[in-house]
Amino acid sequence: MRALTYLLFTQAKNRILNLRKKPAMLVLYYCFIFFVIIISVLYLLQASNDIKTGYADNRIIYLIIGGIGLMYLYLYVYTGLLTGSTFFNMADVNLLFVAPISPVKILIYGLFSTIGKTLLASVFIFYQIPNLKNAFGYGAKEILALFFAYSLLVFINHILSIGIYVFSNGNQNRKSMVWSILYVFIGGIFLAAFLIYKKEQAGILETLYSMVDNKWFGYLPVVGWTVMLFKGVVTASAVDVIISLGMFIAVSVLCILMLTGREADYYEDVLYSTEITFQNKLNAKEGRNTSSNIKRHKDIKNEEHGINKGKGASVFIYKHLLEIKRSSRILFIDGLSIFTAVGVGIAGYFLKDAMKAYIILAVLIYFQYFITIFGKLKYELTKPYIYMIPESSFKKLLAASVSSFLKPCADAVIFFGVLAIVKGAGILQCLFMALTYIASGAVFIGLTVVYQRLFGAQPNLFAKIFIGFLLTILVITPGIVASVLITIYLLPENLYFMATLPYTLICLIMAFIMFFLCRNLIDKTEYSGRLF
């Protein structure tokens, strides 16, 4: 065990020392520590002020925890039935699985390693300290409880995924049984919500608040236990805390005994999922499809072979259209678009406020940023083919960007069309918000080109995202400020639906400037580098 302890601490030490060779990553950590310190100082300053009254309903947090818990439970069970999860990476497989060390000790090493990664990944909760303090009046006890509850939720789902894979692997009847239990579980929650809705004759949100605040909800596996744990801390109920922790520990012990108590050791069970995880990460870095590693027979029509259209730079347009056609039944409309449109429709139906509709727009633009910078253009600029076509750099850059620009256009029609149908905002306001969404997409495409120009060979993807996000704020801030000032001081009240027009125009101008300044990007091959 001493060897594994030494390995665990040595890996952590080497990661820290290796930051000296990665300046961008070092800047990322400096910024992270700086923000944590600033937030902590602000929290201490606020704590010294008088306590205000009229805090938000705690059930809002309970509902958020329950919703996230249900989503995670479904995703991890789904993963467990397909490939399973793992505590290890390929380095652990090559180093530890062949070493003369007890499998139980190696499993303990994997558990501690996963716990550390889970805690590190949950640190983002501390960025919400001001919101939690101002909106709900939470102190250090509640914030630490939320951090611990979320970490425990992720960790228990991780173990549960492995346990389900061990239990059901190679046995179709057991897989069917797990699926049935999962669907009955989710269906029971929706049925309970419906019965509460019919009984209390309240709105949808009030029904959900009432459900997650019920005593029986806390006894639901994983989802309810997490809510019960946090609720027990908030309400100072030691019984709830002890019961929820006991249930978490019992399931963890059961899954660990299942791993170590079988005649065949767990190496074979986790090896496949470890390889799948490693391959998915590699595919993501290289821009390949990561949707599934399961081989499926699929008939390919003859006309789908080859591009057979376009000439010169325009080949990239048809190439991207063909790739989109193969992955989606409707061009530019995928499952994420439909899911988001449903969410927009629900939010718009319940809000039905012209000003609150801009909150929906802001959330959509926030997620659009990540979708765009991970889009086809980013990966196309790292491939050698775009450099081999004898066309001007500007033409090739524009052609490779066409599909990335058309995607937000199609999404904008669906999202804000749904918002107008449910009367979440007026038709003219939805039209101008759709134009704003498209203009934001154009800015993010331009930023993708700028990122490639500035960080092309930077190996750390997360450092590029973090620094790039700061650059994004600098680019879009003038548009936001212009819209706010013009709306307040110049725009008549009957023309408030045009409030986003200044932002839209400035974004389009900024996108054009970024493309023009980087028009010779593809002539500078040294800017294209590895993604890892």
Q: What is the DSSP string of 306-332?
A: S-----GGGHHHHHHHHHHHHH-SBTT
Which residues, at least 6 apart from 441, have a Cβ–Cβ distance to it below 8 Å?
368, 372, 404, 405, 407, 408, 409
pLDDT for the residue numbered 413: 94
Contacts 24+ apart (CB under 8 A), 471-476: 471/447, 472/369, 472/443, 472/444, 472/447, 475/443, 475/447, 475/510, 475/514, 476/440, 476/443, 476/503, 476/507, 476/510
Please give the backbone phi and psi of residue 78, each rounded to the nearest 5 degrees, phi first.
-60, -45
Does residue 161 contact residue 76 with C-beta atoms inside 8 Å?
A: yes
Tell me how far apart the alpha carbons of residues 119 and 112 are, in angstroms, rounded to a whole number.
11
- In a 10 Å sphere around its CB, with 0-12 CB exposed, 13-18 middle and 19+ buried, how is residue 374 labelled? middle
Q: CA–CA separation, 344 vs 414, rounded Å?
A: 10
Contact at 8 Å (CB) between 159 and 250? no
pLDDT of amino acid 420: 92
**Token digits for 448?**
């993708």
**Which DSSP letter does residue 235 get?**
T
Cβ pair 229, 247 in contact under 8 A: no
CA–CA dist 462, 25 (Å, integer): 8
Cα–Cα distance measured from residue 142 to residue 140, given in angstroms and rounded to the nearest whole number: 6
**Token representation of residue 253:** 């012990």
What residues contact residue 410 under an 8 Å CB cut-off, 6+ apart?
331, 332, 333, 337
pTM to 2 decimal places: 0.62
| Cβ neighbours of 97 (radius 10 Å) | 17
Q: How far apart are CA 386 and CA 320, in angstroms?
A: 13
What confidence score (pLDDT) does residue 501 get?
93
What is the spatial distance between Cα 139 and Cα 146, in angstroms, rounded to a whole number? 11
Question: Consecutive sets of 10 residues in the chain, 532 residues long: mean pLDDT of each?
Answer: 72 73 66 71 59 72 88 83 67 68 70 72 70 78 87 86 76 85 89 86 81 89 91 89 91 79 57 66 56 43 57 80 76 83 84 83 89 79 78 86 90 93 90 95 90 64 66 89 91 88 94 89 56 35
Euclidean distance between the first and final Cα of the chain, in Å?
33
Query: Tokens standing for 116?
Result: 């550390």
d(C-alpha 478, C-alpha 233), whole Å: 43
Q: What angle do CA 131, 136, 137 make, to 5 degrees?
A: 95
> According to the model, what pLDDT value does residue 299 have?
45
Q: What is the pLDDT of residue 465?
A: 61
Give me the pLDDT at residue 486, please: 92
- CA atoms of 330 and 309, how far apart (whole Å): 20
Q: Which of 500, 221, 284, 219 is nearest to 232 (CA)?
A: 219
